[in-house]
Every structure is written in structure tokens, then in C-alpha cells.
Amino acid sequence: MSDSSDMRDHLEGNRLDPWFDAYATRAHGLRTSEIRALFAVVSRPEVVSLAGGMPNIKDLPLEDLAESARHLVRHHGAQLMQYGSGQGWEPLRQRIVEVMTYDGIAADPDDVVVTTGSQQALDLVSEVFLERGDVILAEAPSYVGALGTFRAYEGEVIHVDMDDEGLIPEALEETIRRLRRENRRIKFLYTVPNFHNPAGVTLSNERRAKIVEICAREHVLIIEDNPYGLLGFDSDPLPALQSLNPEGVVYLGSFSKMFAPGFRIGWALAPHAIREKLVLASESAILCPSMVGQMAIDDYLSNYDWYSQVKVYRQMYRERANAMLGALEEFLPQCTWTKPQGGFYTWVTLPEGLDAKAMLPRAITGLVAYVSGTAFYADGRGGNHMRLSFCYPPPEEIREGVKRLSRVISAEKELVDMFGTNVRTHLPEDSVSSPAPDQV
Amino acid sequence: MSDSSDMRDHLEGNRLDPWFDAYATRAHGLRTSEIRALFAVVSRPEVVSLAGGMPNIKDLPLEDLAESARHLVRHHGAQLMQYGSGQGWEPLRQRIVEVMTYDGIAADPDDVVVTTGSQQALDLVSEVFLERGDVILAEAPSYVGALGTFRAYEGEVIHVDMDDEGLIPEALEETIRRLRRENRRIKFLYTVPNFHNPAGVTLSNERRAKIVEICAREHVLIIEDNPYGLLGFDSDPLPALQSLNPEGVVYLGSFSKMFAPGFRIGWALAPHAIREKLVLASESAILCPSMVGQMAIDDYLSNYDWYSQVKVYRQMYRERANAMLGALEEFLPQCTWTKPQGGFYTWVTLPEGLDAKAMLPRAITGLVAYVSGTAFYADGRGGNHMRLSFCYPPPEEIREGVKRLSRVISAEKELVDMFGTNVRTHLPEDSVSSPAPDQV
């Protein structure tokens, strides 16, 4: 008999859940994400949450959007509320092509598939490509929601190092060669080139060319995930990897950050044969994306100066980023952090010996929340990092949150200096997993 | 060297698609559905389509819904357009529980997960349970969209016979025993008890109890798919299988037919442990369902007499069903068909020797369309059947469509009587597959 916790979990699962033995192997890989256990606590108003990834949409022109919604339902209700095409509504796909010109992309609407948020595009790409044990290359660290999806399809993420200029081409090349020597099947490189989540850095122009060249030479498909591209504080994004090699890249886009997430509308732009597979996979998963969401977004893009709204967002997020970077400078001299030029996040490195995951319950007690760096690695690393988001709380709250964090870190540092290590109080769930929607 | 068409497809795929060898095995199972090739033709206004499964939503109160949309955006815009919970918005889950009381179900909102149409619920159930080669039991015939999803997860559908009272309990029991003798892993029974798509029949009350008893005894989970339950022509639905054994059934519901499909909102009600897995799988797939769709439907259910709208639909579909059954009586004496008490479809059996799939191109030429019975089988059967839908065209068009069909069938019968078999002109794609959204 064994009393290992694996065995215990299995038996308990079995006893309480009569269908436990019927689950597919992949279902056992579906786990709650790290901070979910603390979610109820984090939602308390007295806690300053620097954990969440919810965009701040309070500046949207709600009166105008309300009139527009009325008009759409009244004059196009029968189409709005009906099934649509599995690939997505053609007029919206044309607008999407226009939006992508800001990334230097020249695309055909026929190569676009509209999805239920770009998360579904990630899911479809995983479904079409991943077999159990296949390798996905991804930045170290990577977006928690992508890691969860790759895990659900039983792929294995191998992280590739990045620095302040993004993914390191030499590290990518070395990793590909090593894996090929080990006869591993590499299915694709997953990368977030702009205002990386969670790292807060942007892939430099020079490296974009190098990475595209390496992947083309090594025949590795690139999945380019770009939810934040238009939210650069001072400028439009650098040219997308897709623009450098359209046949080698599946590009994922989203309206969640540049407009609003509540419609759940994103897209994939893919080489034609892959696009066909993605459409079939999407029809099998959801039949078709919501016409309500598609027509509402098409209306917004067609009848509003959406780029002006993007500029409003840029200004708002820049102020918050400045508040955070200023507060870090002032209150956390014992840490280092990345300097984002856009997006929602900065990536903080803790002083030697501190463990962000072990420290999190004490941070919550100190009324501030973050996401431990471990959430963004598939291999257990990241304990000496935390992701801080500046997208949602107002500047003065951000400052207060960082101030609280400095007290937590100082207290933690004292403990570590005294006892030589963190007093570990790890949270119940230990592994990478599906994200809570509010923390992506 | 082989010149089989399989090999040729493979080589062509390889030559034209540089990523062909990177696809997962399951991706090769994603196929276009049978009538997709003829879709453009079927959409021509001169063709009477008895093929589609689009609900007729022209009777919705668009003026009221337009005001309601304006109010929602104006007063709740920031919540409407934000991320929500992965499980679904709690107020909507409460409304869903109220809707399910019409099926005799007493549920807790905490056991409900809101999905992107009930198709996503089917996808999530498949993801959580199916491994390559697992068996799904399903009626003969079955919903084309379910067959496509089970195929995408590499499950194998074994059909169980049904008759005018629905699934035959003895056939179910015999099939389970045979498969157990063959050491096959049966993961669940998939069934549409009310106004079956495509068969047009309803599972009798007596059989409901028997089927639940057999599945409980044999420890086979039931997936009960009920999109049409409220659309009985004359009455509320019989008690759901779920109401007879809540711990043994995952129940799938949808607003697509009782309200409108454009919001893409459906749900699953599941035993608690399964519900937890479904939520994690959904978060991995789409993060969360659309708040826009959820709040709009909650508003509709809360502020309208939605049940009166259901009665309007019932009356409208009853008239169309009567038009179709009358026309079949008048024009197709050489065929037999089922007599639906609700829903969208009747299932027609052709005279001996006719093949619905071979005949379809000639039907299109004769300006009428249907779906060949082969679409609804995973094993190639169904050629002597066709599904006729009465949901979308008005009564006089239905009558004209059936009249045209009678000419096509008569001409076909003459050919068969002369040459002994159909002159086969099969469509390009041969297998069960993802459905076109308009033909479900």
C-alpha cells in the first residue's frame, strides 16, 4: 500500500466522484490556476490587486454604444440573432484585415477565422497540431492561459530564454538543435512579441527578422499572439512576425484589449491550409462565433473613430505604468523589474532567497495581491519573480499597493535572513493550469 | 507505388501545404460535411431548402429587444463588456435553473456551466471523457454536429437502434453487453430524447425510466441533449432523463431554438465533479462565455414573458410541420416518414433501391434540397433516408419543395427500375464531419 499523495488523490477522487475512472487522461491535467484559491480574498475591496489582467474599459463611449446597439437590433435583429458562418462574418473579417495593417500585415479576409476570443484561437491551434508529448517552444516565462491550453492537449512546453529585447534568437536556435538531437517533435514556437504577458518586454526589430529566419530554416511554425500590440504607450507596434513570413506564421488577434472583452471576439490569421483546418475545428467546437458580438464590433470599427479610443487607452495605461514604475523605484530598491513600453504588466525579480509563491498568502494578509512567477512556467521555475499589473487600479491605488508590497517583502526578507529560507506555505494547487478570466 | 485516392490526397496535401506533416492525427479527421460542397447552390433563392436547421426568428419582438439592448449598454455597459466568470454569470445560471423546471429538473445554479452554444458543451464533454478509440453509444441516426465532435476527439460512435418511440432499451442493453464482451471502453450514451434531430421522434415516458435504469446499472453516463424540448407543438416536454437520475446524466440545453442562436449561449448541467472539470476545460478553451450574450439573455428571461414567445414559436412550427406532413401524404406515397410532435424535422425512408446521397445533386438540379441520411451515421449507413426540415421556409414553400422532391424521386425510381441501381454521382467528401451552421 502507498500513502503517496498521488495515490490518495486518486482514491479520494474515486470515492467521491463515481465517474472518476471515465475521464480522459487529459482531464486529469486540467487544474485550477495558482491564485484561484485566493480569488475570493483578492476580490475584497480592501485588497489592492496587482494580480488581474482585466482591461479598464470605463472610458468607452457607452451612450453612443447604447444607441448603436438599439439601431443594430431594430434594423438587423433577424441577422444579428441568427446563426452565422463558421469562419466568421465576412464584413468583420474585412475590418480585421484593416486593423492588422497597423502591424504591417497585408492579409486576405479569406485567411481570417473569427473566434470566441483569441483564447479559442489558441485552443483550435492546439487541437489541430498537438499530440501527446509534442513540444511547444515558448518564452520563459509565458502567458498562463496558453500554458494551460497546451497542457490540456498534453503538449510539453520547453521554455526559451528571453531578456529585455524579448526572445533570444541564439537560445531558440540552440534549443531547437538540442531537441532535434533528442528526436523530439517540435510543433511550433508560441510567442508574444509585443508588451509580453507576463514579462512586459517587446521583441526588438532586429530579433524579429532573426527569429523568423531561424524558424523558416528549421521548419518550425510560429504562433504569434498579439493582444496588446495597439496598446504601446507612444507608438504603433513594430512589424508583426507574420508580415516577415506569412506562410510560416499563425497570427492571433483580439478585440479584448483594444476595445472590450465582453463580446469574446478574437481571430486567427493563418496560411490557407491551416485556416481551413481551424474553421473545421471551430465548427466542431462552437458551430459559429456569435453574430451579436461580430456585428457589434463591426459596427464599432465602421462607425466610430476606434483609433482615437485606442489613443485614450494608451494615455490611461501609460499613466498607470508610470505610477507603478515610480512606486517601484521609490519602495522596492531591493528588487529589479522590466520597463514596459505598452501593455499591462511588469515582471519583478525578488531579492535572493525569496519565493513569490510562498510569500503570496502573507501579501494577501498585507492587503496586496500579485501573481507568482511560477504560474508562467511549465517547469516549476519562476519562484523568484512576480507579475505586477497596472491595467486596472487607478494610479494612487497602484502606488499604495506597491508600498504594501515593500512591507511584505521587507518582512519576508527578515525571516529569510534569520532562518535561511522562506517558511513555505504553498497553496493547495501546485501546477500550471487554466487561468481565471480576471487574471490573464 | 500506389495510386489509391488516400495516397494521392496525402501527397497532394503534402505538396500544397508545408505544414501537412505537423498536424495532429485528429486534425485529419476534421472534414467538411456532406452538403457543404453544394452549399452555395442551396443558398440560391430559387432552391427550396428543406436541408437547413436554422430556427425562424422573424417573430421576435425586435422593437422591445432594441430598447432593452440600449438600456443594458447604457446602464450596465462596463459589466456587459468585461470578462466574466468561467462558469458563467450567476444570475443567468439561476434563470437557466428556472427554464429547466419545464423538464421536471430541480437543479442548483452551482451545477450549471454556461457555454458558447450547447455545441461547446458537447465539445467540453468530449474533451473531458474521450480518449482515442473510446466508444460513444448514440441513436441510429444521430445529430451530425455531435458525430463531428466525437470524431474530432477520436471517439468511435456505435449506433443503437431506435423506432417511433425513440431509443430501444433492449437494443441498448444488448449493445452494452456485446461491447463489454469485446472489452471496449464505453464512455457515455449520447441521446436527444425530445423531437430528435434528425429522426423527428420522441422517447416515450416508459422508455425514459428503462434507459436510465439500464445506464445506472451498467454504469454508463448519459449525455442528454435537449435543444428542442420546449418546442413541442402541443405541450411541455416529458420529464428529462436527468430528473430521473441527476448523478448519472449530463444535461445540455440551449437558447438557440427557444429564443435565438445569435448570442451563442447554451449550458450543461452536470454532477458536481464533472461540472468542475467542464469549467476548467471551458476556461482553457475560451476563458469565459460572452457577458454580452449572457446579460442579454438574462434580461430577456427576466423582463419578457418568454414562455408566450415559446408558444408563438410552437404555433408557427406546428403549422409548418402540418404543411410538410400534408404534402408528404399528397406527393410522396412511395415513401414513409416519422410524425414529429415538435422540433424541426421529419425522417423520410425512400423506396427500395434509391440512395439519397446519390440523388442529391439531381434534387438540387430540381431546385429542392435535403440532407442525405448518411450524414447522421458514423458507419456509412443511412443512404435510404433523408432528413427534411420544416423550420425555415413558409408553408407554401414547404409544399412546393415536397412536390419537387416527388418529381425527383419518381425520375430516380424510373432510372433504378431501368438500370437496377442508382447512377452514383457521390459528392466529393465522403464522411461524417463538422456541420455547416445552417444545417444543424
How confident is the model over B364-398, as pLDDT tens digits?
Answer: 999 999 999 999 999 999 999 999 999 999 999 99
Q: Shortest Cα distance from B19 to chain A (angstroms)? A: 8
Determine the pLDDT at residue A14.
61
How confident is the model over B284-295, as pLDDT tens digits?
Answer: 999 999 999 999
Residue A367: burial class (beta carbons within 10 Å; 0-12, 13-18, 19+)? middle
pLDDT band at B431 (very low <50, low <70, confident <90, very high): very low
Give yes or no for a contact between B409 and B334, defined as CB atoms under 8 angstroms apart: yes
Question: Residue B193 above 70 pLDDT?
Answer: yes
d(CA B257, CA B306): 12
Taking Cα atoms as reference points, which of A130, A162, A132 lies closest to residue A381? A162
Q: Is B264 in contact with A290 (Cβ distance < 8 A)?
A: yes
SS (H, E, C) B335-388: CEECCCCECCEEEEECCCCCCHHHHHHHHHHCCEECEEHHHHCCCCCCCCEEEE
Question: Residue B334 above 60 pLDDT?
Answer: yes
Buried (b) or exposed (e) across A395-410, using 16+ Cβ within 10 A? bebbbbbbebbbebbe
Determine the pLDDT at residue A31.
75
Q: Tell me which of A287, A291, A294, A306 to substitute to probe the interface with B (most B C-beta atoms closer than 10 Å).
A: A287
| Choice between B418 and A69, residue whose per-residue pLDDT is larger | A69
Residues in chain A closer than 8 A to B15 (CB atoms): none
Q: Is A292 in contact with B293 (Cβ distance < 8 A)?
A: yes
Q: Is A22 in contact with B435 (Cβ distance < 8 A)?
A: no
Residue B228: burial class (beta carbons within 10 Å; 0-12, 13-18, 19+)? buried
Q: Tell me the average pLDDT across B413-430.
A: 65
ipTM over 0.85: yes
pLDDT band at B13 (very low <50, low <70, confident <90, very high): low
Residue B351: is the preceding peptide bond cis (ω within 30°)?
no
Give yes or no for a contact between B117 and B352, defined as CB atoms under 8 angstroms apart: no
Digitized pLDDT (tens) for each residue of chain A, 440 residues in all: 334 444 444 444 566 889 999 999 889 878 776 556 556 666 788 999 999 889 999 989 999 999 999 999 999 999 999 999 999 999 999 999 999 999 999 999 999 999 999 999 999 999 999 999 999 999 999 999 999 999 999 999 999 999 999 999 999 999 999 999 999 999 999 999 999 999 999 999 999 999 999 999 999 999 999 999 999 999 999 999 999 999 999 999 999 999 999 999 999 999 999 999 999 999 999 999 999 999 999 999 999 999 999 999 999 999 999 999 999 999 999 999 999 999 999 999 999 999 999 999 999 999 999 999 999 999 999 999 999 999 999 999 999 999 999 999 999 999 888 887 655 544 444 334 444 544 45
| DSSP-based three-state secondary structure for A184 | coil
Residue A198: is the preceding peptide bond cis (ω within 30°)?
yes
pLDDT band at B433 (very low <50, low <70, confident <90, very high): very low
Residues in chain A closer than 8 A to B286 (CB atoms): 116-117, 119-120, 123, 264
Q: Is A86 in contact with B130 (Cβ distance < 8 A)?
A: no
| DSSP-based three-state secondary structure for A280 | helix
| DSSP-based three-state secondary structure for A378 | coil
Q: Is B261 in contact with A123 (Cβ distance < 8 A)?
A: no
Q: Shortest Cα distance from A248 to chain B (angstroms)? A: 9
Residues in chain A closer than 8 A to B261 (CB atoms): 81-83
Give yes or no for a contact between B5 and A170, defined as CB atoms under 8 angstroms apart: no
Full DSSP string of B400-428: HHHHHHHHHHHHHHHHHHHHSS------S
Determine the pLDDT at residue B162.
98
For A274, nearest residue in chain B (alpha carbons): B19
For B435, nearest residue in chain A (alpha carbons): A283
| Choice between A419 and B233, residue whose per-residue pLDDT is larger | B233
Determine the pLDDT at residue B422.
54
d(CA B136, CA B156): 6
Q: Tell me which of B32, B67, B83, B278 to substitute to probe the interface with A (most A C-beta atoms closer than 10 Å).
A: B83
Q: Is B60 in contact with A82 (Cβ distance < 8 A)?
A: no
Q: Is A20 in contact with B273 (Cβ distance < 8 A)?
A: yes
For A295, nearest residue in chain B (alpha carbons): B262
d(CA B202, CA B232): 10
Buried (b) or exposed (e) across B322-353, using 16+ Cβ within 10 A? ebbbebbeebbeebebbebbbbbbbbbebbee
Q: Shortest Cα distance from B118 to chain A (angstroms)? A: 8
| Amino acid sitting at position A379 | D
Determine the pLDDT at residue A138.
98
How confident is the model over B124-133, as pLDDT tens digits?
Answer: 999 999 999 9
Determine the pLDDT at residue A424.
52
Q: Does pTM surpass 0.90?
A: yes
d(CA A176, CA A288): 36
Q: Shortest Cα distance from A330 to chain B (angstroms)? A: 33
Q: Is A219 in contact with B18 (Cβ distance < 8 A)?
A: yes
Q: Shortest Cα distance from A318 to chain B (angstroms)? A: 21
Q: Is A273 in contact with B20 (Cβ distance < 8 A)?
A: yes
How confident is the model over B101-145, as pLDDT tens digits?
Answer: 999 999 999 999 999 999 999 999 999 999 999 999 999 999 999
Determine the pLDDT at residue A420.
73
Rg of chain B taking only CA atoms, in angstroms: 22
Q: Is B274 in contact with A19 (Cβ distance < 8 A)?
A: yes
Question: What is the grid cell recorded at B69?
Answer: 439592448
Q: Is A286 in contact with B280 (Cβ distance < 8 A)?
A: no
Phi and psi, residue B145, nearest 5°: -70, -30
Phi and psi, residue B372, nearest 5°: -65, 140
Could you give the angle at which helices B117-129 and A272-286 cross, rounded to 10 degrees?
100
Give yes or no for a contact between A287 and A83, defined as CB atoms under 8 angstroms apart: yes
Strand B112-115 relative to strand B135-140, pairing: unpaired
Residues in chain B closer than 8 A to A123 (CB atoms): 284-286
Cα of first residue to Cα of last residue in chain B, in angstroms, is: 41
Q: Tell me the average pLDDT across B181-186.
A: 98
Give yes or no for a contact between B358 and B424, defined as CB atoms under 8 angstroms apart: yes
Determine the pLDDT at residue A432.
40
Q: Is B293 in contact with A290 (Cβ distance < 8 A)?
A: yes
Residues in chain B closer than 8 A to A145 (CB atoms): 284, 287
Question: Residue B437 above 60 pLDDT?
Answer: no
Indicate the residue of A57, A77, A277 with minimum beta-carbon distance to B30.
A277
How confident is the model over B260-306, as pLDDT tens digits?
Answer: 999 999 999 999 999 999 999 999 999 999 999 999 999 999 999 99
Q: Tell me which of B143, B147, B153, B264 to substitute to probe the interface with A (most A C-beta atoms closer than 10 Å).
A: B264
Q: Tell me which of A286, A291, A432, A433 to substitute to probe the interface with B (most B C-beta atoms closer than 10 Å).
A: A286
Full DSSP string of A25-54: HHHHT--B-GGGGGHHHHTSTTSEE-S---
Give the number of A-B residue pairs with CB atoms closer than 8 Å: 290
Q: Shortest Cα distance from B240 to chain A (angstroms)? A: 20
Q: Is A283 in contact with B71 (Cβ distance < 8 A)?
A: no
Residues in chain B closer than 8 A to A437 (CB atoms): 83-86, 283, 287-288
Residues in chain A, how many? Answer: 440
